[in-house]
Chain A
């Protein structure tokens, strides 16, 4: 492998991990804004989305240039393709974080709904999936990536519980319908973040083992 490719790959890793850190932070902030009913924090998340999108474009540009310039093969090729895919997933997680933040802005101005305990579990699981899928990417750890894929079942289960919990809230108190609908919407975005984290984990397995895991779960 040429030295230039090595340097470029390092640079690409750094950019991707920076992107990962930005998105993870945005997600955590959006969740905090939602839980703390903090409008200002939510607006900060919405404001940072442009930076995330710019970063996505930069990474894609860089990765495509590398493909054209170095014409990498085998593991390097897999790595660059994984970077492109993960990059895309991260950008979409960023979009969902913004969506959660928008719900948080709306919810902060509404009567609070009683928060089911399962909500904290959902938040924790999604945050853990985000964190561990990125860790698996950095460490090239296929085992950790597979465990992230398995966590998605838990997210789906809790998500369904949230639906029925919110239905009960609405049935009991008509005044809370708007809050409950927004809460469901935020939960739905959280669930989607879990799915995208699973995608990243699958991409990591592909990168490490060359095996395509998608749609097997």
Chain B
């Protein structure tokens, strides 16, 4: 309601209307009052004239006679009865009788304006202050004629109080009569104006709310006219706008969700290189915080020169720019591939740029592993081949070689070719394991048999080297789903490694247990051990802690890699506990075949 009263439109609409109504009422009222007042004066004058004519008849016999007290009394009585003042005046101006005053005490009245007018025109009126009655009075005088000669005057008068009272009464009734319709018209006008203004105010509020991005309520304007149509149009517009905003918000959220979910970092900047967007990945890679970075220059918020350079160049040269940058981090450098693309606006002008940060550290790492692998394998293959070729050439050159040397050379050739054969078969095993589970035949198998078989075949080697080889297996079958050949490789590699790296007089414990759903094979030795910093890498192909010693012991550098791959192919895991000089314990954990899980108490004795 307050808003309504302050509405300019309401007052503009209403002020003219109210002015017309009030002005009309005042003009009409004034005219009515004026008319009525004139009527009142006329009425009084007519009454005074009538009275004067009547009194003239009474006074006619006395005007030219000497003063008569009876006549005087009669006039006085008449005045008292009618409330009108009568004065009878002789032609020379002497007052003969008066209804209110002693005529003897009165002045000569010949010079009174009404008397003079009556003498000249037959009738005279005058309105002035009367000392006799001490009030404004209206006077009317007419001449008394006898045989065409002026004999005297009769004057009637009434005080104007009576006239004023009647005028006030007239004004009051006219005022009252005007006031009621004016008030009614004003109220009605206000209501009409309000009925125009209120919907406009509501619509303004709604439009303002929509402009301010707030939820606007539906307008309820039931009018058949243009205002109603405007409200309907506004409602339709609001709804349309809402739908569009919802769609846009949903699109935006979708885009943001996609950007946030990307592994690649995305940073977008505007023409001035100010950050417009940076997704979570970009924030992590560049070490920035989007909340503080937004709206600031890209080169202010992060310290990787290449990123801002590539964005700037993409914009300047208007082309996609791909580059690579290494970001130093304490552990190892991150290699990030940057793809900067200029952004164009609708008018095909460059409006900013976006850079995609792709972490290729792992890719580069894999590439280097592959390079290393090729280099390693060539080296590993070449070493025995060179040895064989050298030996063969020596035999061919030296025809007179004695039998013993000849045989020793041939034996060496056999050893080297065996090593070459082991290497190739290890490589084949690895490639079979790496090509996925398709290369393996899974079947139920008792791991106890595999372990026992492997230990049995290596007992001889252990005895020769004077290493104590112990085997501990549970009484019940340890059944897993696995490829028996691959499992055999795994156990062989672990056991032969343990024997190989354990000096004479040492001890190797091979222990198989089944516990809470998994089979655990532990191979513990008292050998040279593996330093902590090397432990993570011993499962890599061709990785050797001590290259010279390993080759001397006839290793291919692939054994532990095979162990790891077999375990992984069977859904298991390998772990290593070791300390330099205090031996190593390899622990392989594999899932038991479902349904074959022994109850806990069933194998407790075997431990």
Contact = CB atoms under 8 A, between A and B. Distances in A.
Interface residues of A, number: 18
Given A14-B297, A18-B308, A32 B328 contact: yes
Interface string A15-55: 00110111011001100100100000100000000000000
Contacts of A28: 328
Interface stretch (B142-150, B162-170, B298-306, B520-528): B298-306
Contacts of A18: 299, 305, 308
Given A18-B305, A18-B308, A21-B305, A29 B299 contact: no
B330 interface: yes
Nearest to B272: A10
B303 A25 contact: yes
Interface in B262-317: 297, 299-300, 303-305, 308
Interface residues on B, range: 10 to 19
A21 B303 contact: yes
A18 B305 CA distance: 6
B297 A24 contact: no
Interface string B326-357: 00101001000000000000000000000000
A21 B330 CA distance: 17
B299 A25 contact: no
Contacts of A41: 333
B602 to A, nearest CB: 50
Contact of B328 (A13, A14, A17, A29): A29
Nearest to B303: A21
A134 interface: yes
Nearest to A24: B303
A73 interface: no
A138 interface: yes
A197 B308 CA distance: 24
Given A18-B305, A22-B305, A32 B330 contact: yes
Contacts of B308: 14, 18
A14 B305 contact: no
Nearest to B296: A138
A21 B300 contact: no
B305 A25 contact: yes
B273 to A, nearest CB: 8
A19 B199 CA distance: 64
B304 A21 contact: yes
Contacts of A32: 328, 330, 333
B243 to A, nearest CB: 42
Interface in B476-492: none
Contacts of B303: 17, 20-21, 24-25, 131, 134
Contact of B300 (A22, A25, A29, A138): A138
A14 B272 CA distance: 12
B299 A17 contact: yes
A131 B305 CA distance: 14
A14 B299 contact: yes
A10 B297 CA distance: 10
A189 B297 CA distance: 32
Contacts of B304: 21, 25
Contacts of A17: 299-300, 303
A145 to B, nearest CB: 16
Max chain B Cβ within 10 angstroms of own Cβ: one of A13, A21, A22:
A21
Nearest to A134: B303
Interface in B493-532: none
27 contacts: A10-B297, A13-B297, A14-B299, A14-B308, A17-B299, A17-B300, A17-B303, A18-B299, A18-B305, A18-B308, A20-B303, A21-B303, A21-B304, A21-B305, A22-B305, A24-B303, A25-B303, A28-B328, A29-B328, A32-B328, A32-B330, A32-B333, A35-B330, A41-B333, A131-B303, A134-B303, A138-B300
Interface of B: 297, 299-300, 303-305, 308, 328, 330, 333
8 pairs of A and B residues whose beta carbons are closest in the complex: A21-B303, A28-B328, A21-B305, A29-B328, A138-B300, A17-B299, A18-B305, A14-B299
Given A21-B299, A21-B303, 11 more contacts: A13-B297, A14-B297, A14-B299, A17-B300, A17-B303, A18-B299, A18-B305, A18-B308, A32-B328, A131-B303, A134-B303
